[in-house]
Amino acid sequence: MTVHVPSADLSQIAERVEQQKAYYHRGHTRSLDFRLGQLKALQRAVQRHEPEILAALAQDLGKSAFEAYATEVGFVLDELRFISKHLSEWMQPERVKTPLVHQPASSEVVYEPRGVTLIISPWNYPFQLLIDPLIGAIAAGNCAILKPSELTPHTSAVLAKLIQDTFDPAYITVMEGGVEVNQALLDQPFDLIFFTGSTRVGKIVMEKAAKHLTPVILELGGKSPCIVDRGVPLALTARRIVWGKFLNAGQTCVAPDYVLVPREDMEPLLEAMAHEIQQFYGHDPHLSPDYGRLVSSERVTHLQQLMQGETVFCGGESDAKAHYFAPTLLQDVDWQAPIMQEEIFGPLLPVVAYDTLDEVIARIQERSRPLALYLFSENPAHQEMIMRHLDFGGGCINDAMIHLATPHLPFGGNGGSGMGAYHGRYSFDAFSHRKALLKRPLNLDMPLRYPPYPAWKEKVVRQVMK
């Protein structure tokens, strides 16, 4: 049965934003105590609603309890703990130097909230990708309107309930619904928009934001390459790639989109990856409780079309009605193939042969900057060469995806894969404005800068400012 999300009343959207602006200007959200109290309330609410969240993720995407906890609920609880622990230190104004010409004076950078923010999330990690940015918004002292994806209706309903039970809607609220709700929200004069989703919609968001000069953080997608160098242990390499690719049935923005392998290693790598798929999900992944489902039957049909004409090394079976698509390896795929022209965002892994790393670098440089890049190599010169020549959001050497599961690294894209970053301290920074403040006493004044400007003043200024 298809479940639809209820749509927020479009005529109320402007009023909701106004309410939040009024709430924000009252100044409650600024104190450390308020922010920590709200983070604590969110933590308790997530813990209290955990069974409903896991059930909704199983209904929407067939996520196992392990995967749902590790990549969604546990991920968010970790971030809540980390940010709450460091918040008071991050909120301190940062003392910086003042140039001699402005002395006597002191200077500081003050971290201020942005104001009323809009957070829009996609369906693939529908809980984490809405709540994780919200943690940054609360920590930095903002109000927020949250718009979950309409394609994961069970999770959207739990999110709406959790937020409604926990926060004053004048401070934080959820607006459920489809594209029309997004469009109406994007017409409003927010102080920051944090968008996670496709590059196509990211462009629409940025265009709409330009009307109000609203700053945007865009967490987008793209084709993330995985490069396998000569001489690596293929069994472990295969295990790490297969884990990264088929987690959440390939519907992860930083999943390896395609693998580049030395021509002579293609068959052994394919065999090693097929072996790992069987180790993880058994002979028939359809029966595995640990293998997820696609978000819709349309996505299954689209991937079936994308696969046409390719050589299937293993997998390939699908059932659109059940939203099932087997973990699939495609052998010796050409750079020009349709599947190499768009983000796959599903459990199809094309393997492309190469002869030299120069060729790999040239091919990737021709394309839009990826969100992630993975290199399996034990050769320091090759590691250095790839990192020096290729631009991308973030990535790993000798693993896949785990660079996003640490609060110590910024997570975000580059160029076509997005702008801005978050997680840990970077979330606080993303939702803060750095206000510059220079303080001077009024009991002392240097007349140098005031007209008239005789020659001696110019001489002094040239001495001081060279």
Minimum gap (Å) between residue 409 Cβ and ligand NAD: 13
Sketch the per residue contact string, 371 through 400, with ligand NAD: x for CB under 6 A, - otherwise. x-----------------------------
> Closest distance between ligand NAD and the C-beta of residue 221, in Å?
2
- Of 159-167, 193-201, 239-247, 273-281, which part binds ligand NAD (CB under 6 A)? 193-201
Please select the residue that binds ligand NAD; options are 343, 349, 392, 400, rule is CB under 6 A: 343
> Residue type for 266, please?
M
Q: Which is nearer to ligand NAD, 372 or 390 (CB)?
A: 372
Work out how close the CB of 388 gets to ligand NAD at its nearest, in angstroms, rounded to a whole number. 24
Of 198, 331, 368, 398, the one binding ligand NAD by CB under 6 A: 198
Give the torsion through C-alpha atoms of 259, 260, 266, 269, to 10 deg: -40
Asked if 124 touches ligand NAD (CB under 6 A), the answer is yes
Positions marked catalytic: 219, 253
**How many residues lie near ligand NAD (CB under 6 A)?**
25
Distance of CA 263 to CAs 99, 122, 328, 353, 367, Å?
A: 59, 37, 20, 5, 22
Q: In whole angstroms, what is the distance from residue 223 CA to residue 253 CA? A: 9
- The residue among 150 and 229 lying less far from ligand NAD, judged by its C-beta, is 150
CB 347, min distance to ligand NAD, A: 15
Closest distance to ligand NAD from the beta carbon of 185 (Å): 8
Sole binder of ligand NAD in the list 17, 129, 314, 419 (CB under 6 A): 129
For residues 142 and 196, which CB has a smaller minimum distance to ligand NAD in the complex? Answer: 196
**Please, what is the minimum distance in Å from the beta carbon of residue 345 to ligand NAD?**
5
134 is an interface residue for ligand NAD by CB under 6 A = no
Within 310-339, the residues that bind ligand NAD by CB under 6 A are none
210 binds ligand NAD (CB under 6 A): no
Q: Which residue is nearest to ligand NAD (CB)?
A: 221
Among 19, 128, 188, 196, binds ligand NAD (CB under 6 A): 196
The residue (of 297 and 379) whose beta carbon lies closer to ligand NAD is 297
> What residues from 140 to 159 belong to the interface with ligand NAD (CB under 6 A)?
147, 149-150
Cβ closest to ligand NAD, residue 155 vs residue 328: 155
Q: Give 304's contacts (C-beta < 8 A, 6+ positions apart).
A: 318, 320
Q: Which of residues 212-251 bind ligand NAD (CB under 6 A)?
A: 219-221
Site map for ligand NAD, 404-433, x if CB under 6 A? Answer: ---------x----x---------------
Residues that bind ligand NAD (CB under 6 A): 120, 122-124, 129, 147, 149-150, 179, 182-183, 196-198, 201, 204, 219-221, 253, 343, 345, 371, 413, 418
